[in-house]
Amino acid sequence: MSKIGFIGLGIMGRPMAGHLLAGGHTLYAFDPFGVSPELVEKGAIVGKNAAEVAKNADIIIMMVPDTPNVEDALFSAGGIAEGLTAGKIVVDMSSISPIETKVFAKKINDLGCDYLDAPVSGGDVGAKAASLTIMVGGPEAAFNTVLPIFQLMGKNITLVGGNGDGQTTKVANQIIVALTIEAVGEALLFASKAGADPAKVRQALMGGFANSRILEVHGERMVKRNFEPGFRIALHQKDLNLALQGARNLGLSLPNTATCQELFNAAAAAGGSAWDHSGMVRVLEKLANHEISSPSQAN
């Protein structure tokens, strides 16, 4: 069994860390907002800071919101870098800048340690079910060492390439997810405005070529009006910002990505930064002056 450190125990990190404990590993944990009693009861050992966690663990995992949070977790006073000794592996499972990832990896490599960027897709549902998709960038030997740990948290696990390639893959994933949320929202809004029952329309579409996890999970959220966050709009805004910044640097035009970002921006302006990203549909509903509902709900 491995000695694993885990930094960042929020909506995603908490269940992910729980799977590692269930797998029999020793878990050293730190979160600036505190470690949940549930994890402590299961055996998590709480560190006073990230450096102490890194000192005790052989593999250190981060799951924090954004690029500055990763930099802070790694290199601030009391950060992971202070607790590293040669031969350890640092794994960033956050979704951050591919460019900055390469910078962070180089600094960790200079300390004699390996670095894997391993962002995930699947949201809180996938985190709880240990069914996350994990997209990894970094050296193959380190990947092979960490693979059994990844397998406790996810199912579709791919070494894409070198450091930064995992994060690039996650940005591509977030483009697809955003555009699909928008498409599902438009389709269900169209169906509802036309007088059909959107719940039944969704059920019918799930048996055809239009089926997707977004239609299954987020389509249900739209119909049932459940926008409690599994993945917050603010985080998806961050990811699309990475996509659009990268596109500018590469000389690309991503017009539909830009449209989805504007819809997220409108949702945030209406107070929806903390809505689940399926809440993008609320902006489409505002534009249509119609809320998705079944005929029975409308009467």
CB of 205 closer than 8 Å to CB of 243: no
User: CA dist 127 to 14, 15, 231, 268, Å?
Assistant: 9, 6, 11, 25
State the amino acid at position 293 in one-letter form: S
Given 170, 193, 200, 224, the catalytic residue? 170
55 is catalytic: no
Residues 6+ apart with CB under 8 A from 5: 27, 28, 29, 30, 47, 50, 53, 54, 56, 57, 59, 60, 61, 80
Angstrom distance (rounded) from CA 63 to CA 175: 20
Of 152, 137, 151, 170, nearest in space to 66 by CA:
170
The runs of H, that is alpha helices, within the chain are: 13-22, 37-41, 50-56, 67-75, 98-109, 123-129, 140-150, 165-193, 198-205, 213, 219-224, 233-250, 255-269, 280-288, 295-298
Q: Which residues are catalytic?
A: 170
